[in-house]
Amino acid sequence: MDAFTLPDLVTTQDLEELLGVKRAMISRLRKEDTRFPEPIAQSTPKRPLYRREDVLGWLVATGRAPEAALPVFAPAPGGGPITQRWSRVGAEFVKLPTGDGGYAEAHVTRYSTGEFSDPRVLSLVVPVGDPGISRLPGQHLSPAVIAALGYGGERGMRGAIAWIRPNNWRSYDHGDLFGAEVPDHPDVFEFGLRLKLLDAEVISQIIGHLLPYWEQGAISKTAAALWEPRPLNQHTPPVPASHTPPGLAVAAGLRRWCREVIDQITTGARPAPPEIVDELAQLGNTMWDTTLSHQFNWDKKTSIEVPPGWVLPIEPPQSTLTDPNPPLPKQPGEVDLFHALQWLIEQPDLPHDMARTATDYYGYPNSIDVLTLDCGEIPEHLRTAIERHLTPIPAHDNWLHEALTTALEHHQRQHLSNPGNRPQDPAAADGAGASLGWVTDTDPQSHPARSLPGHRAGDLLAYHVPRTLLEIGTPAVVHLFATTVGDRRRYGGILIDRTGAVSPIPLDPDPAAPRATAAQLAALALGITEPLHLGRQPKLREEPPQLTQLTAALATTDHLEIDWETLCGIVGPRPDGLDDRDLVTTLNDREHWNTPDLRD
């Protein structure tokens, strides 16, 4: 037996074998050496038991074992100087099982002591890509994760695991280092391993280099593979910023697309209005700069000190304003981004992914979102009214129409994957049917509709939710409906006038709370042209409590029918002499919604 193969609980017999002495010598050491470890509480006078780490600390302190024999993360005994005990031997990528049944990839650096008699391996683990911190182990490693890292099982490694938790500036959650030795006994592969917080400054000296202070969402596989630790007394150059962090990959992709299209326009290969070049540049720059600031706060990096034991491993990406050579022209002035969006989604030969990325981030110029409705699950009279006010329009091979097809296919897949759903027409799953427009819409191509044709009730309709009501007559009734796609509950609405004409209601399909839906309906009843800002934030911050109570019912029912006069009675009359801007300002300045005083 040697110091590296001591069991977790050391007996007197183990000490005799390790030191090559008799029991009497062990008894003498216990009496005369004040540093000799104390037995654990479960010991008996005739059968003392000692913790392995206590014995190893005593052996190193008395010169009976090399410092490499210490517990993996323990500093030198007695507070003495810490020398490097582990050497980097290589690195690899490992797929780790997550709690939701999937996998997340991690970059694992392996270390050994270099001692032939010491078979232990230290693994320094950091998640890569952008799988989301919630899907990864925190301070507890499951048996499956331990086995995936190579301990026990087929590879049968012994030693310890250290886990770098990436820091997150948005939540002020600074990076931490956790670790634990993997015991030889089999219990760990039944119950897992509890990690403890480690001192990064100590560990950096034990392994001989500073630890990479990764950002959450900024660890690309390329960056992790390229970063090479250097000795403590040598400068560690950061990975170049050209390796885009995963959290910025989508924004970087839009910038590349915008650059390519701008080049096509400036060389005459693609016709476009002259202002589109500046607008596309701002389209890509705005998404990049906003994502950079909100997700990573790189612009504040210079004011943040990295804790002892760590080093920044990546060269921070730069914003458009600070980058000396940005991918897109700098656009400090204001331009019409929605004009560029409208142009983009109407181009038939541009990548649909480009338009999808832009509209996912900015929204649609004239629409709020794409909504799917199963017409077989709404009252017959509403279904009839909708179908009577849809008319065929030409289908175009652009994202405006492709988004409808994508929404229909997603709805159909989610529907068929849920057990207990009624059978669907097989033809309905093969693709989108005719393109449709609203009869009352003066420009149906701005927010077209599309249906999946079938031979039974239950046909799906997808349509772009308009930002403003279509031109119809005197309102008569409001229909609110909720539809479930997968695990998402989405809301929509239809307004019918006294002649039977139909307009979709400008309503956010994914409201944050019933109050948001109520605020949009209140704005609609007051005649505010656009109930939402250009994003999805309701323009009104207050709403009648009765209306909130009403919209809350959509959580448990699929359809509500509200007489227009009833809705207006709940909201109250619109004050005279106020335009939309002044009305919104007035109502938002009020502390409570009090309809009798609305004119004050």
Does 583 have pLDDT greater than 60?
Answer: yes
pTM: 0.73
- Identify the burial level of 172 via C-beta atoms within 10 angstroms of its C-beta, where 0-12 means exposed, 13-18 middle and 19 or more buried: exposed
pLDDT interval class at 132 (50, 70, 90): low
Does 513 have pLDDT greater than 90?
Answer: no
H/E segment holding residue 482: strand 475-485
Mean pLDDT within 512-527: 92
pLDDT interval class at 135 (50, 70, 90): low
514 touches 521 (CB < 8 A): no
Q: What is the pLDDT of residues 425-469, one digit of tens each?
A: 434 444 457 889 999 999 998 889 998 764 444 688 999 999 999
CATH code of domain 3-65 = 1.10.1660
pLDDT interval class at 53 (50, 70, 90): confident
User: What pLDDT was estimated at residue 319?
Assistant: 87
pLDDT interval class at 576 (50, 70, 90): confident
pLDDT interval class at 597 (50, 70, 90): very low
Does 284 have pLDDT greater than 80?
Answer: yes
H/E segment holding residue 193: strand 193-194
Q: How far is CA 538 from CA 124, 372, 561, in A?
A: 47, 22, 22
Where is mean pLDDT largest: 221-230, 322-331, 383-392, 588-597?
383-392
Does 341 have pLDDT greater than 50?
Answer: yes
User: What pLDDT was estimated at residue 332?
Assistant: 67
Tokens at residue 595, please? 């309809």
Residue spans of the domains in the chain: they are: 3-65, 87-226, 246-360, 365-506, 511-600
pLDDT interval class at 169 (50, 70, 90): low
Residue, of 496 and 410, whose pLDDT is higher: 496
Does 599 have pLDDT greater than 50?
Answer: no
Rounded to the nearest integer, the mean pLDDT of the chain is 85
Where is mean pLDDT largest: 267-271, 416-420, 421-425?
267-271
User: What pLDDT was estimated at residue 598?
Assistant: 40
Mean pLDDT within 187-193: 72
Q: How far is CA 267 from CA 256, 270, 277, 301, in A?
A: 17, 8, 12, 39
User: What pLDDT was estimated at residue 171?
Assistant: 54
Does 184 have pLDDT greater than 80?
Answer: no
Helices 276-291 and 352-362: crossing angle in degrees, nearest 10, is: 60
User: What pLDDT was estimated at residue 153?
Assistant: 63
Q: What is the pLDDT of residues 82-116, one digit of tens each?
A: 889 999 999 999 999 887 778 889 999 999 998 88
